[in-house]
Amino acid sequence: MAEEKKKSRVDDINRSVYDIKDKVEFSYKADRGLTEDIIRKISAEKEEPAWMLEKRLQALRIYESLDVPPWAPDISELDMDHIDTYIRPKTDMKARWEDLPQNIRDTFDRLGIPEAEKKSLAGVGAQYDSEVVYHNVQKELKEQGVIYVDFETAVKEYEDLIKPYFGQLITPNYHKFAALHYAVWSGGSFVYVPKGVHVRMPLQSYFRLNAPGAGQFEHTLIIVEEGADCHFIEGCSAPRYNVANLHAGAVEIFVKKGASLRYSTIENWSKNMYNLNTKKAVVEEDGSMVWVSGSFGSHTSCLYPDTILRGNHSTCEFTGITFAGKGQFLDTGSKVEALGKNTHVTINSKSISKAGGTALYRGAVFIGPEASGMKGAISCESLMLDNESRSDTIPAIIIENSDIDLGHEAKIGRISEEDIYYLMSRGMSEEDARAMLVRGFAEPISKALPLEYAVEMNRLIDLEFEGAIG
């Protein structure tokens, strides 16, 4: 019997470990929808201080007053009345992997989280649905004064650190999705790196949304004090369901004088996910912020990390790749606000679209009137793999002084048929030839990722191409 032909549609491709569905078990689940009563119940379940409940209720009022932003893609199929905003897993948080329930342990084992921790991570947090279920940090970091805890713990145990920063960069008024986040946030991470401390191995948080028709709204707050540095890795995944899921997390980052932070993300959501995430950083004098972002999966994405270069000689680097397949609308990009003198900005964004998918780059650079001596380079490259797909770049550059040096380049194109023919003449199949050329296109991004995530990205590219020809 001839070998069974591989599946030819992207939406039929087996996403391997990511699409394995676990039985949905929980100790508490809020009613579906978004009401004041639901929010009060969530806050009570968490035993939060009164000031946090007030922030939630204020955010709800703002959410109800705001329209969907005009720049947002079509999210008309997303109905908050059918979203579970809070699902607490059937376990409390553990510091030892072996103490987790077997089903949750199996999920993260398949994703390689324990193995990565052993090999190359200084601390790990793992969130399952609405709550962090596992958290561990090396003793050496604790002795240096590094704080790395889940955000619920941070609100209760480090209140004096949290209150001055929480909701200051990303306010509920930022846009409707931000207001939604602050109304129902749950889970996430708090990282505090004291002055002069160098975190030599990465910290990682992994977010797994297991339940169908659910939302995940984790809040991450990172403070890197003067002269310190840190690398934070974020991984995300979910199995595929036939109902809409929602991710609307928020990340607030404060990089102080002479400090640096590297923030790496691979978002591998399932293709029923609406990913409406918000990320923002502020960088002081001589500070450095580096974003490395890979966006795969999700039905619809809106993601534009925003960096404020407030200090003189501060720098920002954004390196990102987006892969949009059939039925996907991935609206991604970056935003930089250069306010200090002699700042430096580098943006390198790549997008790939196939099988009718849409990849849109939306970028904005604002150079303020006091930002003299600013230097920057912006590059946006898009690769369309067929005649059905679409790719757009929408750059916006606003300049309010003349003492700058800024270059911008944008390219949209297709894979050369000559290159495909050459590789096929050397014995490769058309499928393998196309995948190799795409990996070459993505190589600058892959090189910027931690090794394990670079391997994962290349595997995801191969997965998208498996059986895609014929």
pLDDT for the residue numbered 219: 96
- DSSP conformational letter for 333: E
Q: What is the pLDDT of residues 396-428, one digit of tens each?
A: 999 999 999 999 888 877 877 888 888 889 888
pLDDT band at 115 (very low <50, low <70, confident <90, very high): low
C-alpha to C-alpha distance for 214 and 313, rounded to whole angstroms: 43
Query: Of 128-137, 370-379, 393-402, which gets the smallest average pLDDT?
Result: 128-137
- How far, CA to CA in Å, does 23 sit from each of 26, 169, 269? 10, 37, 19
Q: Are 41 and 30 in contact (CB under 8 A)?
A: yes
Q: Dump strand ranges (E) for 71-178.
A: 87-89, 123-128, 131-137, 147-150
- Rounded-to-10 torsion of CA 25, 28, 34, 38: 170
The whole model's pTM is what? 0.87
Q: What is the mean pLDDT of the chain?
A: 84
C-alpha to C-alpha distance for 317 and 300, rounded to whole angstroms: 25
Q: What is the pLDDT of residues 232-279, one digit of tens each?
A: 988 777 666 667 888 899 999 999 999 999 999 888 777 888 999 999
pLDDT band at 36 (very low <50, low <70, confident <90, very high): very high
pLDDT band at 107 (very low <50, low <70, confident <90, very high): low
pLDDT for the residue numbered 112: 64
Evaluate if residue 109 carries a pLDDT over 80.
no
C-alpha to C-alpha distance for 152 and 218, rounded to whole angstroms: 10
Q: Which two tokens stand for residue 251?
A: 């990340």
pLDDT band at 290 (very low <50, low <70, confident <90, very high): very high
C-alpha to C-alpha distance for 133 and 107, rounded to whole angstroms: 12
Longest Cα–Cα distance in the chain: 72
Evaluate if residue 309 carries a pLDDT over 90.
yes
Q: What is the pLDDT of residues 431-447, one digit of tens each?
A: 888 888 887 777 777 77
